[in-house]
Amino acid sequence: MKKLHGLGQNFLTDASVAAKIAAAAQIQAGEEVWEIGPGIGILTREILAYQPKLTAFELDRRLIPVLNKKFPNQLQLIHADILKVDWDELTKGAPIKLLSNLPYQITSPLLALLEKHYNSFSTIVLMLQKEVGQRLAAEAGSKAYGAITLRMRIIFDIETLFEVPAELFEPVPKVDSVVLRFSHRASKPSLKNPEMFYRLIQLGFASRRKTLRNNLKSHFSAEQLQRLEADSGISLSRRAESLNEAEFITLADLL
């Protein structure tokens, strides 16, 4: 079967890696589990070993009969684009464990959906492009640190579990991969002004090379910025990439 490049069809070839991904979700029998993009089922088989209530979403119509034949009556297979299904409707009910060897071209919109629906998921185990994994795990001050780091980490504890070299996929992609586990952050910081927190992150990183002041000056008055700097004790001559989460929260709460 010809692989569809546009669908990110790089299939994992090593069952022991698939077994490690499935094990990372700590699935109990009967638990509700989702898999995105089962492909020809290498990870699906390992997930099913834990006897969950599995729903898998696969966009490539040709793979549906292949999967149904491999795993008769063992899962609910939905032929759909995961970005287009009704998440509000489908996530009703028990907290879900989500696993995926992700088609990399849907990473950004999928992370946005997980951010919105995080309450419906107890554990998420994703194989992602290594570079994206580095961004999600980055610390303030590093090149990989950015808006997506802050947005995801204010909700999730994100653990980098292990790397997977490109050679373990067929066809071999141009990038290496990494497996991450997302769980709810035990104590989420309280934001007085969540909208402003998200706006500040977006504006602050709009141009990475610019100082905060320059990124913010067309959105706030000079007096506002002067007062913000004085009240927070945070210099607006700094760049967004040097600010940690607590400093962004301080600024957002004051604005």
We find the least distance from the C-beta atom of residue 40 to ligand SAM, in angstroms, to be 7
Considering the complex, state which of residue 115 and residue 173 has its C-beta at the smaller distance from ligand SAM.
173
Selected from 32, 33, 39, 248, the binder of ligand SAM by CB under 6 A is 39
Considering the complex, state which of residue 45 and residue 210 has its C-beta at the smaller distance from ligand SAM.
45
Selected from 10, 91, 120, 149, the binder of ligand SAM by CB under 6 A is 10
HEC secondary structure over 103-123? CHHHHHHHHHHHHHCHHHEEE
- By the rule CB under 6 A, 106 interacts with ligand SAM: yes
Determine if residue 124 is left, alpha or beta; phi over 0 gives left, psi from -120 to 50 gives alpha, anything else beta: beta
In a 10 Å sphere around its CB, with 0-12 CB exposed, 13-18 middle and 19+ buried, how is residue 246 labelled? exposed
Where does this chain touch ligand SAM (CB under 6 A) — which range of 38-46, 130-138, 191-199, 239-247? Answer: 38-46
Considering the complex, state which of residue 38 and residue 146 has its C-beta at the smaller distance from ligand SAM.
38
- By the rule CB under 6 A, 167 interacts with ligand SAM: no
- How far apart, in whole angstroms, are the C-alpha atoms of residue 7 and residue 199? 32
Measured CA distances, 85 to 90, 93, 131, 180, 253 (Å): 8, 16, 27, 24, 36
We find the least distance from the C-beta atom of residue 60 to ligand SAM, in angstroms, to be 4
- How far apart, in whole angstroms, are the C-alpha atoms of residue 7 and residue 134? 23
Amino acid at 10: N
- By the rule CB under 6 A, 133 interacts with ligand SAM: no
Selected from 59, 98, 154, 212, the binder of ligand SAM by CB under 6 A is 59
Structure tokens, 93: 């009910």
We find the least distance from the C-beta atom of residue 63 to ligand SAM, in angstroms, to be 6
- How far apart, in whole angstroms, are the C-alpha atoms of residue 16 and residue 18? 5
- By the rule CB under 6 A, 82 interacts with ligand SAM: yes
We find the least distance from the C-beta atom of residue 185 to ligand SAM, in angstroms, to be 27
With CB under 6 A as the rule, give the number of residues binding ligand SAM: 22
We find the least distance from the C-beta atom of residue 36 to ligand SAM, in angstroms, to be 6
Cβ–Cβ under 8 Å, residues 146 and 241 = yes
List interacting residues with ligand SAM (CB under 6 A).
Answer: 7-12, 36-39, 42-43, 57-60, 81-83, 101, 103, 106
